[in-house]
Homo-oligomer: A and B are copies of this chain.
Amino acid sequence: MEQIVTKEQSKSADESVLNLFWAVLKRDLMLAYRKKSDLFNPLIFFLMVATLFPLGVSPEPDFLAEVAPGVVWVAALLATLLSMDSLFRSDFEDGTLEQTLLSPQPLFIVVLAKVLAHWMMSGLPLTLLAPLLGVMLFLPAEGMSGLMMSLLLGTPTLSLIGAIGAALTVGLRKGGVLISLLVLPLYIPVLIFGTSAVQAAVTGLPLAGFFALLGAMLALGFVMAPLAISAALRISVSG
């Protein structure tokens, strides 16, 4: 009898955690949808780079094909980095972050949902749009799948790492710079492996190693980052 109760209790606890996750995810996506800017900013930036780069540097297909993996990845990284600062700032400014911290629900889950929402508005559309960019920059067709896969594995890591920086700086009036300084060093490995993967795909070298590395980083980030983010948020708000 007792066991059953415990099971049921834990089941309902699981359910409430899931509900929480959905509620937060839904709210953040809705906010992004209403505000539009959050939704499109990373995308627009991404597209802007892809249009301006050939215009400003050189429109030659051969040249573009060569630099495409790097350009796409640098653009994706910058797009994510630039959208990071707003992740917790608006919540901080209108007091909803306080309410979140004062809730009995596990902060871990809330944070994870928020990061997922952020990724769905930055990393995911970037990944989906990458083939278009690839075409615009004459990336050889063989590289396409490598590009998408590497972005799919890499951008969530970028969101997770960036959220740590956002949480650490949310209480400060001088957020923008610091966040780049804190986060960029940890972005560099992702960038290096990401572009290497695409380049390997273009030249037909084996890819599994790069994907394994990107996957490992994602797994590590997935486990550790929410803890760091939660701790950083509590610290920032209490200051």
Binding site for B on A (CB under 8 A): 34-38, 40-41, 44-45, 48-49, 52-53, 55-58, 66-67, 69-71, 73-74, 77-78, 81-82, 173-178, 180-181, 184, 188, 191-192, 195
Contact = CB atoms under 8 A, between A and B. Distances in A.
A191 B55 CA distance: 8
Most chain B Cβ neighbours within 10 Å, of A36, A38, A69, A175? A36
Integer count of this chain's copies in the complex: 2
A57 B48 contact: no
Nearest to A173: B35
Contact of A70 (B40, B57, B184): B57
A206 B180 CA distance: 39
B37 A174 contact: yes
A75 to B, nearest CB: 9
Given A52-B191, A58-B67, A191-B52, A176 B41 contact: yes
A188 to B, nearest CB: 7
Contacts of A181: 44
Contacts of A55: 188, 191-192
A78 B46 CA distance: 11
Given A48-B184, A56-B74, 6 more contacts: A34-B173, A37-B174, A44-B177, A44-B180, A55-B191, A57-B70
